[in-house]
Structure 1
Amino acid sequence: MLLPHPDRDRSPIRVALTGANGGYGRTFLAQVTRTPELIPAVLVDPDVDGVLAMLTELGLAARALVSEAPTRTAQIVADGGIALVRSADAIAWGVLDVLVEACGKVPQGTAYAAAAIDNDTHVVMVSKEVDTVAGVALHARAVAGGLSYLPGDGDQPANLLRMLDWVSAVGLDIVAIGKAGEYDLQFDPVSGKLTQAGETIDAPSLRDLLTLGDDVHETLEQRAQAASELKRAAAADSCEMTVVAMRTGASADTEAMHYPVARIDELADIYASREHGGLVGTDGAVDVFSALRLPGEASFAGGVFAVVRTGDPVTWEVLRAKGHVLSRDGRYACVYWPYHYMGVETPLTVHAAVDRAPAPSPRATTVLAARAVRDLPKGDVLAVRGHHHEIDGAAPVMLGVSTEAAAYYLLDGARLVRDVPAGELIRESDVEGLDPLARDLHREGRALTPATRDVTR
């Protein structure tokens, strides 16, 4: 049963989607079959054959035609079809209302978003890499043009920002905010095996570490040691939390974040202030945790959380009795959404973009930078690779905007012009071959004076 909703009565919204053949793209396209007011007018991906095969599976292929020129694209859309294009060269911006940017590559994604804004088209930014590099400037340009520039619902940054809107609206005092890593740690006490994303290790010591005990820090250290063979931290996590930091004024408590191995019912104790035995040194810290669960227990599903101070003990003991997550001493509570549904939720942002709905403005308060984890020789080409979008030999770190370090994802494809010893930050002057548009927009964003958090479109 599909319930009626006022959004179904909207005028058609014509959408362009980049990275159409990616996992995110498919989840969005699958959903628009149930939201007829959203028209997938232009799909951008070099692999047009792959896009066509996907559309066949979704029952949309009959409307799809390949286009190599803007005039042909405009005609296909005017005739009610879906134009499949390989690059920006064939996009007809005049027939579009919203761009959903999901290609995940900084040079291309920045160019798509900038072109959309130049052509009076709203932008829903799914490519968090682009947002950390050029988001501040792109947002400023969009606002100047009377347009929306919004992070896409369905990915953790926008979901966390949406949850924080509720948290701030009801007046809760925030201590820490963040998300779970993409993949839970699943521990089987019988076998002593610990599994994450299909990789399994022996971790029998976790049997005695399933509760926090009296010393939270000691327990977390021992859990981290037990799980040390698994790669739990990812550049994508730091990227997403940078997107949130730019829109809230929050910052990382430590440049690489804490990444505790935590069970859901422990989050209010773990993310308590240090004076009360928790990890948090500064209010408003952003962080990521690895969700630890047993067989048969529900997943956190890469969801988002906020740890808040409770206030009136009677109120919160009533809520504890109803199953809400509180710290053992009652000072803190954890509000959380255990989900992120990718493109299934992105129609919310497309509607918000057209409506020019209020949203937090990104500010140049945090830079996702790169710190060498080994000696990097002159001549090395830095490349973002793999599922987690990482640069080999460089760790992502979240720093204040005063740093001279280059933005992590701006470095994709750049060549080192000097040796960078292990432990040093990589600066723009250390490389050549930066994408000119992304570089200039990053500099433009950093030159804008950070201000107190406000809400614009």
Structure 2
Amino acid sequence: MNVQPRPPGTGGRPVGYALSGAAGGFARTLLAQTLLIPALAPAVLCDVDVPRLHALCLELGYAPERLRTCTDAEQTAAATAAGHIALVADQELLGAGQWDVLVEATGSPAHGYAMARAALTAGRHVAMVSKEVDSVAGLHLARLAADNDVVYAPAEGDQPGNLIRLLDWARLLGMDVVAIGKSSEYDLVFDPATGTVTQLDRTVPAPAIGELLTLGEDVRGTLAARADAVAALPTGATADYCEMAVVANNTGFRPDVERLHYPVARIAELADIYSLREHGGVLHETGAVDVFSALRLPDEASFAGGEFVVLRTNDAETWRILAEKGHVVSEDGRYATVYLPYHLMGVETPATLLAIAAHGRTPDAAPPGRHAVLAGRAQRDLAAGTVLDMGGHHHDVTGVQAVLLRDEDAPADVAPLYLAAHAELGRDVAAGELITLSDLANPDPALVEAWNLGGEWAREVA
């Protein structure tokens, strides 16, 4: 996004941002990129581990004399007024500093919501990185932003923000988009020499993939065979469902099935796979959001957790010309795929921050709605008194399968997954049942209120 920012303050000062979860991986990439952008500057960095945060800033090349560890509001205010960077452990100190946009990157629904709410009600913008926060409280935070004439938006650099921008671009061009989505975080890399498939640091035998590298005429049959061949590898990260919940509620696209399709797919096949079932694909209807597992050979480029849109072609000759140039068009010519093979984390987030400062909005922003709900089904019988702990890989909730429900399929009292996380069950939940708010003995009252108020607002603006 090429943006010429209007400095929000006087004297041409840079756009100042506060950053929560500031010692994490996403934060590191943003802080590193900021050093290359004179129009942008960190003002307050918040993390529970301030010594680690201080060491990170020094490692990245921030001048030691700019870094001020602050333990109260007066110190924080003085540090930012002098152009220094305030490092704080207490989230309550964020508001004492001088800055324009909060980048919320804790991943904690309770803490992230509290910080975002405080920023918005104080008349400051919020760029949301924490999908967990957005999946529970995003609609209410959007309402607070509207009420206070500021911006609340998913940040570019993470897949939701990138995919929303890609869809905005496609809509601007009048494209008839039938499906949108992303790849799962880690590719499936097939080595023909060994007949194995590697996903990140795990390798399993999968010789059958060697005979399944092309879709053939039976697309769904091939996909089923591929899924069987790599069944030893995990599919369906909770983080993927959460990201697609954010996308659904910001775009109106909804899951085609609650567990998503997760096809094992090569990039060139996406237009054929995400076509309607009557045309050989997997979709029951248009307007779908989904995730695929990228299959590639060792010497092929990665999809890198990137994003895609699948569209209906219009003029056949136009798309024949584009197909000759290497663009992905389905075998029957009805569909095409446009994609971004990347998400660069905080390296891209400055585009969102500068756009907000320049325009007081993000381009083509539209009011979100509750089009899908990230919920959870019990994977086994769960007894009353069970604490729904977080554990495992990618923010799983122990004993609970993440699902993405279409709005009309979500019971009125369904518990959003990251509101249920860490809560105790007040009654037994049988395997396969959705976890509801009434099942929880001690849900966070602030998050419950945010969830309910967000639903009310969504109904008002629908």
TM range (shorter): over 0.9
What is the CA–CA distance in structure 2 between the aligned matches of 1:350 and 1:309, rounded to whole Å? 33
Q: Which residue of 2 aligns with 1:284?
A: 287
1:307 counterpart residue number: 310
Alignment correspondent of 1:142: 145
- Give 1:40's aligned residue: 42
Query: Aligned partners of 1:446 and 1:100: how far apart in 2?
Result: 24
CA RMSD of aligned residues (A): 1.6
- Structure 1 residue 80, shift from structure 2 partner: 1.7
Which of residues 59, 62, 73 in structure 2 aligns to 1:60?
62
Q: Does 1:263 align with 2:272?
A: no
One-letter code aligned to 2:39 = E
Instruction: Give how far 1:451 is off.
Output: 7.0
1:356 maps onto 2:365 in alignment: no
Is it true that 1:20 corresponds to 2:22 in the alignment?
A: yes
Q: What is the aligned counterpart of 2:388 among 382, 405, 430?
A: 382
Task: Give TM-score scaled by structure 1 length.
Answer: 0.96
1:125 maps to which of 123, 128, 131: 128
**Are the aligned partners of 1:372 and 1:393 in contact in 2 as well (CA < 8 Å)?**
yes
Shift of 1:191: 0.5
Q: Given the alignment, which residue of 417, 427, 432 partners 1:418?
A: 427
1:433 and 2:459 are equivalent in the alignment:
no
Shift of residue 379 of structure 1? 0.7
Are the counterparts in 1 of residues 382 and 429 from structure 2 also a CA contact under 8 Å? yes
Cα distance in structure 2, aligned partners of 1:286 and 1:192:
32
Match of 1:446 in 2: 455
How big is each residue's C-alpha offset from its partner over 1:381-413, in whole Å with a ceiling of 9 and x where there is no partner? 112234401101111111133523100011121
1:373 correspondence with 2:379: yes
**Alpha-carbon distance, 1:241 to partner:** 0.6
Q: What's 2:418 paired with?
A: 409
Contact 1:69 / 1:91 at 8 angstroms: preserved in 2? no
Superposed displacement of residue 243, structure 1: 0.6
Q: Deviations over 1:16-43 (max 9, x none)?
A: 1000011000000001101122121111
- Determine if the alignment matches structure 1 residue 209 to structure 2 residue 212: yes
Query: 1:168: how far off?
Result: 0.6
TM-score using structure 2 length? 0.95
Give the CA deviation at 1:5.
7.6
CA contact (8 A) 2:180 2:289 kept: yes
Letter in 2 for 1:374: R
> 1:238-279 deviations in whole A, cap 9, x for unaligned?
111111100111110000100000000000000010000000
CA displacement at 1:91 relative to structure 2: 2.2
Residue identity matched to 1:446? G
CA distance in 2, matches of 1:256, 1:450: 25
Do structure 1's residue 164 and structure 2's residue 167 form an aligned pair? Answer: yes
C-alpha distance in 2 between matches for 1:400 and 1:316? 33
TM-superposed CA distance for 1:7, in Å, is 4.1
Counterpart residue number, 1:331: 334
Residue-by-residue CA offset, 1:197-252 (whole Å, 9 max, x unaligned): 11100001100000001111110001001111111210100111111100111110
Where does structure 1 lack aligned partners over 5 or more consecutive residues? none
Determine helix, strand or coil for the equivalent of 1:415. Answer: coil
Q: CA offsets, 1:345-376, max 9 Å, x none?
A: 10111122222224132212211111111111
How far residue 57 of structure 1 moved from its aligned partner, in angstroms, is 0.7
Cα distance in 1 between the residues matched to 2:392 and 2:105? 16
Q: What residue in structure 2 maps to residue 30 of structure 1?
A: 32
CA contact (8 A) 1:241 1:286 kept: yes
Partner deviation per Cα, 1:75-97 (whole Å, 9 max, x = no partner): 11112211111121222345121
Distance 1:116 1:141 in 2: 10
Paired with 1:76 and 1:59, the residues of 2 have a C-alpha distance of 19
Q: Which range moves more in the overlay, 440-449 or 248-257?
A: 440-449
Paired AA for residue 28 in structure 1: L
Partner Cα separation in structure 1 for residue 324 and residue 443 of structure 2: 55
CA deviations over 1:118-170 (Å, ceiling 9, x no partner): 22211000001100100001111111101100100000111111111111111
Residue type at the aligned position of 2:206: A
1:225 aligns with 2:234: no
Number of matched residues?
450
Residue 157 of structure 2: aligned partner: 154
2:255 and 2:406 in contact (8 A); partners too: no
State which drifts further: 384-393 or 63-72. 384-393
**8 A Cα contact 2:209 2:229, kept in partner:** yes
Give the match's secondary structure for 2:127: strand
Q: Check 1:104–1:95 CA distance in 2 against 1; reply closer, same or farther (3 A cut).
A: same
Q: Which residue identity lines up with residue 130 of structure 2 in the other structure?
A: S
TM-superposed CA distance for 1:175, in Å, is 1.2
Aligned to 1:346: 349
